[in-house]
Amino acid sequence: MAPVKPSGQYDFDLLVIGGGSGGLACAKEASSFGKQVVVLDFVIPSEKGTTWGIGGTCVNVGCIPKKLMHQASLLGESIQEARSYGWNIPDPISFNWESLVEAVQNHIKSVNWVTRVQLRDKKIEYVNGHGVFEDAHTVVAKMKNGKERRITAKDIVIAVGGRPRYPDFPGCKEYCITSDDLFSLPTSPGNTLVIGAGYIGLECAGFLKGLGYESTVMVRSMLLRGFDRGMVNLVQAEMEDKGVKFLIGKIPVKVSKQPNGKLLVEWKGDDGIGQGEFDTVLVATGRKALSEELNPSAAGLQVHPESFKFITNAEQTNIPNIYAVGDVLHERPELTPVAIQAGKLLAGRLYNGIQEQMDYDNVATTVFSPLEYGCVGLTEEDAINRYTENEIEVYHAYYKPTEFFIPQKNVKHCYLKVITLLKAPQKVLGMHFIGPQAGEVIQGYAAAIKAGLTYQHLKDTVGIHPTVSEEFTRVAITKRSGDDPTPQSCCS
């Protein structure tokens, strides 16, 4: 498809490197303002050789397959519970990994296709090539077949995202997989060791256990760094109750393949060395931005010396016509909706005269652990650091979801917390929720916080009964009071 020549000396008005959530949102928005846009997307195969189509991490190897596998795991739990609700279900029930992978991959492939249809329909050109800078207005797209195409554009948006980082120990790259590979793994993972206890590691360990596989998490220092400590402890306790094992304070030393085909993992910790045999070892020890692969210095671009990410001012890099959105931004949340919002607003500022900037504060998120954890705003630790303990109030409560009673599900870790300023009207600084459907619960409260939510507003809100979300309208016990936050009865 020959693009209509844009006004001026360049092939395109906008060139976007990276067809993930942020890049695509920016490209589509720019095209809606009549701009000529080209999107480059290319997936470098993982160490295990896994590749995928357009759409980026979220669609292919992130949020989407993760949520689907989490759902598969929750369904297994629901089938068991259904017996208590009168359903006759044969025993034992069984699960087939290959069928799940096929269903998940088919969903992803149809999303890849729909994405391409949308781009074509909006006259956005899609180039399946790896973009490398030649200068500030020129990018060379390197195709799989070795061909190259030089493309110039007035503006360039970097939206290349990141990929899993492999820790450095013998056998790691050879024998371990990452989240890039898990969701398309052709055979069932079996007994799995997850190295790393960030949200990706915990989510994978959680759904694998729910699907019936033994799962163990190796933790170097702490789980879910950056999240509220009290909440994280409950997430861990719930996972332990569900049978996920934790190796705390351990680092991997070596992975080797045994004659029986199993992987022998050796580790060390404060209490000496240890080892264990697993079928699958998944490393989830953080992600690295794909900035260096762009040859950024050819365009004069600077990256942060440690994170290798771009430091931007309103998404603008140190080169005025080059912008960046999404996971390649230094010290910004690595979340799909953040990238989408930033990409859309950027296109609006560049091509539609709007002034609005991306607000990176008070972004809600959810960890899809077996019992989900959703939060928005400050952690208790951050609130204390920013305001001191004397100036904040922490309301908290354990609660009992109605539907947990009949199957006698564990309610021990259903807990929530609202952090406010002490001074009236007690502006809400942070909200934290562990329980079923945490993401659905916290999303609405995130909008309320954007609108200036106070504790008084929560108190004045009438709940919907019986829901778990209504617990936020009932929370009244402060940590300061020392009163017991456990409920006395089901419907008090």
Enumerate the active-site residues: 465
Nearer to another protein by C-beta: 111 or 422? Answer: 111
**Cα 258 from Cα 255, distance rounded (Å):** 10
| Segment near another protein (CB under 8 A); pick from 49-57, 75-83, 370-378, 476-484 | 49-57
In angstroms, give the least distance from the CB of 238 to another protein: 36
Question: How many CA atoms lie within 13 Å of 215's alpha carbon, on the beta-carbon side?
Answer: 29
Q: Are 370 and 208 in contact (CB under 8 A)?
A: no
| Segment near another protein (CB under 8 A); pick from 72-80, 114-122, 398-406, 468-476 | 114-122
In angstroms, give the least distance from the CB of 181 to another protein: 17
The count of chain residues that interact with another protein, using the rule CB under 8 A, is 15
Determine if 99 is a binding residue for another protein (CB under 8 A): no
Nearer to another protein by C-beta: 93 or 117? Answer: 117
| Segment near another protein (CB under 8 A); pick from 108-116, 167-175, 196-204, 472-480 | 108-116
- Taking each helix axis from N to C terminus, what angle separates 63-82 and 97-121, rounded to the nearest 10 degrees? 140
Q: Which two tokens stand for residue 317?
A: 């890099």
**Interface residue with another protein, options 24, 40, 54, 231 (CB under 8 A):** 54
Q: Are 418 and 455 in contact (CB under 8 A)?
A: yes
In angstroms, give the least distance from the CB of 155 to another protein: 25
Determine if 254 is a binding residue for another protein (CB under 8 A): no
Q: Label the pairing between strands 263-269 and 250-257.
A: antiparallel
**Interface residue with another protein, options 91, 121, 460, 484 (CB under 8 A):** 121
Work out the number of other CB atoms within 10 angstroms of the CB of residue 423: 11
Cβ contacts of residue 272 below 8 Å, gap of 6+?
none
Nearer to another protein by C-beta: 52 or 398? Answer: 52
Determine if 53 is a binding residue for another protein (CB under 8 A): yes
Q: How far is CA 237 from CA 223, 332, 484, in A?
A: 11, 29, 19
**Interface residue with another protein, options 84, 96, 110, 352 (CB under 8 A):** 110
In angstroms, give the least distance from the CB of 325 to another protein: 23
**Interface residue with another protein, options 6, 48, 81, 116 (CB under 8 A):** 116
Determine if 49 is a binding residue for another protein (CB under 8 A): no
Determine if 142 is a binding residue for another protein (CB under 8 A): no
**Interface residue with another protein, options 84, 96, 106, 352 (CB under 8 A):** 106
Nearer to another protein by C-beta: 55 or 377? Answer: 55
Q: How far is CA 32 from CA 13, 306, 324, 326, in A?
A: 13, 37, 20, 21
Nearer to another protein by C-beta: 10 or 126? Answer: 126
Nearer to another protein by C-beta: 109 or 480? Answer: 109
In angstroms, give the least distance from the CB of 53 to another protein: 3
Site for another protein in 396-455 (CB under 8 A): none
Q: How many helices (H) and strands (E) does the chain have?
A: 13, 21
Nearer to another protein by C-beta: 38 or 200? Answer: 38
| Segment near another protein (CB under 8 A); pick from 47-55, 170-178, 275-283, 473-481 | 47-55
Q: Are 333 and 351 in contact (CB under 8 A)?
A: no
In angstroms, give the least distance from the CB of 115 to another protein: 9
In angstroms, give the least distance from the CB of 144 to another protein: 9
Determine if 102 is a binding residue for another protein (CB under 8 A): no
**Cα 359 from Cα 417, distance rounded (Å):** 24
Nearer to another protein by C-beta: 19 or 374? Answer: 19
**Cα 387 from Cα 367, distance rounded (Å):** 26
In angstroms, give the least distance from the CB of 121 to another protein: 6
**Cα 71 from Cα 456, distance rounded (Å):** 35
**Interface residue with another protein, options 34, 85, 89, 120 (CB under 8 A):** 120
Residue-wise DSSP of 223-278: SSTTS-HHHHHHHHHHHHHTT-EEEETEEEEEEEE-TTSPEEEEEEETTEEEEEEE
The dihedrals phi and psi of 135, each to the nearest 5 degrees, come to -150, -170
Q: Label the pairing between strands 129-135 and 280-283.
A: unpaired
Alpha helices in 352-481 (DSSP H): 380-387, 438-450, 455-460, 471-474
| Segment near another protein (CB under 8 A); pick from 46-54, 161-169, 192-200, 348-356 | 46-54
Q: Which two tokens stand for residue 199?
A: 């949200």
Q: Which two tokens stand for residue 182?
A: 């898990």
**Interface residue with another protein, options 42, 52, 227, 399 (CB under 8 A):** 52
Which helix (H) or strand (E) segment holds residue 172: the answer is helix 172-175
The site for another protein (CB under 8 A) is made up of: 1, 52-54, 106, 109-110, 112-113, 116-117, 120-121, 123, 128
